[in-house]
Structure formats: C-alpha cells, structure tokens
C-alpha cells in the first residue's frame, strides 16, 4: 500500500512538473477526437476560437481562424473519409506565447500528390476549390502531410501579437 502511494505520488508529481513546465512556458494544449460528422465541424472551429480568444486577437482574426479550421476539418471529412460519418478526426490545439498551432488529422484515404491538392479548383466538391486557399490566406503557415492510404495531417499556424 505504501509502495503504491509512493508510485502514485511520483506520477502525480511528474504530471505536476510537466504541467508547471507548460505553464511556465505559457503553453496551453487541448486535444479532441470526434466523429467525422458534418455537425462536428462547428464544434471544432468554436473550440479553436474559444482557445485563441485568450489572446489579443481582433474579432476579424478570430473569424478567419474559424474559417481556416472549418476548411481543414471539412477536407478531412469530405476527402479524407469520403463523407463517411463513422471515423474519427483528431484536433490538437497548442497555444504558446507567440503561436497558435492547430493540427487536424484524419486516417482516411490520403493523397498521393499533395501539390495537386493545393491547387485551386481541384476537388470538384462544390466548394470552389477554396479550402486550402482560405487556409493559406487566413493563417501564417500551413503544412500538409499525406500519403495514399495513410491519412492526412494539416497543421495551421497563426502568429500571435
């Protein structure tokens, strides 16, 4: 019993240390895994905006971040999962002193040619090919990692004032 308590204390202190380090560095993190259903797109963008609102961003900037997240999550559902509603999209948010980092990951079909997907009017999904265009124009940096059959990870960065 005593040994178990010692282990528990050690784990708790370890967690507290990690938490304190994150706090000292001014970093906040959130992770959310949700079903690939259309109604969850708004939850993803609202959660992101709620976290970003801790910083001094204008309403216009918060709206732009919401659009970028909406595009990334819509892509994951429409293209990654081909509209299937029973898969999971993972959203990771990291708010550090100078950056908001948003990662949207799916385990869907993936893309053989990321460059091709980044060109406007590529998909024919009725969204004017604007998904990546909006992500690029509303965020400061966009990274896309994908491989056929291995899903897609989109990382969006917004520099904070």
Partner 1 sequence: MKITLKSKSFMNKRWLWAHPEGELDMASAARFRSELEGAISAGGYRYLWLDMSAVTFIDSSGLGVILGRYRQLQPLGGSVIITRPSEQIYRLLTAAGLHRIMEIDRPLSLRYREEGI
Residues that bind partner 1 (CB under 8 A): 38-39, 41-42, 45, 59-60, 63, 66-67, 70-71, 74, 77-78, 125-128, 130-131, 134, 137
What is the closest distance, in whole angstroms, from the C-beta atom of residue 68 to partner 1 in the complex? 9
Q: Could you give the CA distance from residue 111 to residue 96 in angstroms, rounded to a whole number?
A: 30
Residue 150 exposure: Cα atoms within 13 Å on the Cβ side: 9
Q: Could you give the CA distance from residue 109 to residue 50 in angstroms, rounded to a whole number?
A: 30
Task: Give me Rg for the CA atoms of the chain.
Answer: 18
What is the closest distance, in whole angstroms, from the C-beta atom of residue 47 to partner 1 in the complex? 14
Nearer to partner 1, 33 or 125 (CB): 125
Residues with Cβ within 8 Å of residue 55, at least 6 apart in sequence: 95, 100, 160, 161
Residues with catalytic roles: 71, 75, 127
What is the enclosing helix (H) or strand (E) of 61? helix 59-75
Beta strands in 36-97 (DSSP E): 88-95
Nearer to partner 1, 71 or 94 (CB): 71
What is the closest distance, in whole angstroms, from the C-beta atom of residue 48 to partner 1 in the complex? 13
Nearer to partner 1, 109 or 133 (CB): 133
């Amino acid at each position: 019993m005593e040994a178990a308590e010692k282990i528990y204390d050690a784990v708790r202190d370890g967690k507290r240390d990690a938490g304190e380090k994150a706090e000292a560095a001014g970093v906040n993190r959130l992770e959310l895994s949700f079903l690939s259903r259309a109604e969850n797109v708004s939850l993803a963008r609202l959660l992101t905006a709620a976290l970003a609102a801790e910083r001094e961003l204008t309403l216009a900037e918060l709206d732009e971040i919401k659009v970028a997240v909406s595009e990334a999550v819509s892509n994951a559902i429409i293209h990654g999962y081909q509209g299937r509603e029973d898969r999971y999209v993972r959203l990771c948010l990291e708010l550090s002193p100078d950056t908001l980092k948003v990662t949207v990951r799916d385990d869907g079909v993936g893309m053989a040619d990321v460059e091709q997907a980044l060109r406007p009017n590529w998909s024919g999904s009725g969204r004017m090919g604007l998904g990546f265009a909006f992500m690029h124009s509303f965020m400061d940096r966009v990274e896309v990692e994908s491989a056929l059959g291995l899903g897609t990870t989109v990382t969006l960065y917004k520099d904070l004032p």
